[in-house]
């Protein structure tokens, strides 16, 4: 099985090194208890005003009609491999704060919650893949989203890892390609 642990220069904690965006998922279901653990992990993320502007709409693969609703929102590049995910979900951002003002941090905070969810998943042997490749119009319609209140930000596929051999190209190659990152001096500037 393809495990793409990050080769870090510094002592980064294990779950950060071990998380990666997998595409090959096994038939094993994720229990409801484990899903609740993941959502609770997400809920403990930081957020502006503690507004917690995230919302998760999810379905297990064996709830076929519900799973298909989410799967149908995905674009062509994501549909082939996500059909084997144990769980699919849409992640929404709530646009406004309780006082009615726009929450300019909403999408940032959704990302923070997703990171918590993913790192918790990694610690439990569950792999995930965030996707921006979905049709927002379809998502709004199929998932009955009130766009005055919220908007879909990303979809996420979750499952237990299977062999990369199970995937067709180009996904197989992507599954096996080592992860890379920009060097720190490209993303960090120390002011003195
Ligand atoms: C907002 C966002 C949108 C993404 N959209 C897609 C997508 O539509 N399809 C896909 O295969 N991967 C998608 N990815 C996954 C990224 O390609 C992946 O996180 C990146 O290549 C780094 O790889 P790693 O997560 O394995 O470290 C997305 C990730 C994020 C955070």
Residue to substitute in 112, 129, 169, 175 for testing ligand 1 pocket (most ligand atoms within 8 angstroms of CB): 129
Among residues 66, 71, 57, which one has the least CA distance to residue 25?
71
Task: Determine the Cα–Cα distance for residues 97 and 99; give it in Å rounded to an integer.
Answer: 5
What structural domains does the chain harbor?
19-176 (3.40.109.10)
Which atom from ligand 1 is nearest to the alpha carbon of 114? Answer: 31
Task: Determine the Cα–Cα distance for residues 166 and 176; give it in Å rounded to an integer.
Answer: 12
Give the neighbor-by-neighbor strand order of the sheet with 54-60.
Answer: 54-60, 87-94, 150-159, 127-131
Task: Determine the Cα–Cα distance for residues 69 and 57; give it in Å rounded to an integer.
Answer: 11
pLDDT tens string for the chain (192 positions)?
Answer: 567 999 999 999 999 999 999 999 999 999 999 999 999 999 999 999 999 999 999 999 999 999 999 999 999 999 999 999 999 999 999 999 999 999 999 999 999 999 999 999 999 999 999 999 999 999 999 999 999 999 999 999 999 999 999 999 999 999 999 999 999 999 999 999
Q: Tokens 């766009």 label which residue?
A: 147
């Amino acid at each position: 099985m393809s495990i793409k642990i990050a080769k870090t220069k510094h002592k980064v904690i294990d779950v950060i090194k071990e998380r990666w965006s997998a595409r090959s998922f096994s038939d094993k279901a994720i229990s409801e208890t484990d899903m609740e653990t993941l959502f609770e992990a997400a809920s403990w993320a930081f957020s502006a005003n503690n507004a917690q502007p995230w919302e998760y709409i999810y379905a297990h693969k064996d709830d076929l009609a519900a799973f298909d609703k989410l799967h149908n929102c995905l674009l062509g590049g994501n549909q082939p491999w996500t059909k084997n995910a144990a769980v699919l979900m849409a992640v929404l951002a709530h646009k406004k704060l309780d006082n009615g003002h726009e929450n300019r941090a909403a999408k940032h905070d959704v990302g923070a919650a997703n990171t918590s969810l993913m790192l918790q998943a990694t610690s439990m042997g569950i792999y995930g893949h965030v996707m921006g490749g979905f049709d927002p119009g379809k998502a709004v319609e199929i998932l009955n989203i009130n766009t005055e209140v919220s908007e879909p930000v990303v979809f996420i596929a979750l499952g237990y890892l299977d062999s990369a051999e199970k995937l067709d190209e180009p996904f197989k190659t992507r599954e096996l390609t080592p992860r890379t990152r920009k060097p720190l001096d490209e993303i960090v500037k120390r002011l003195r």
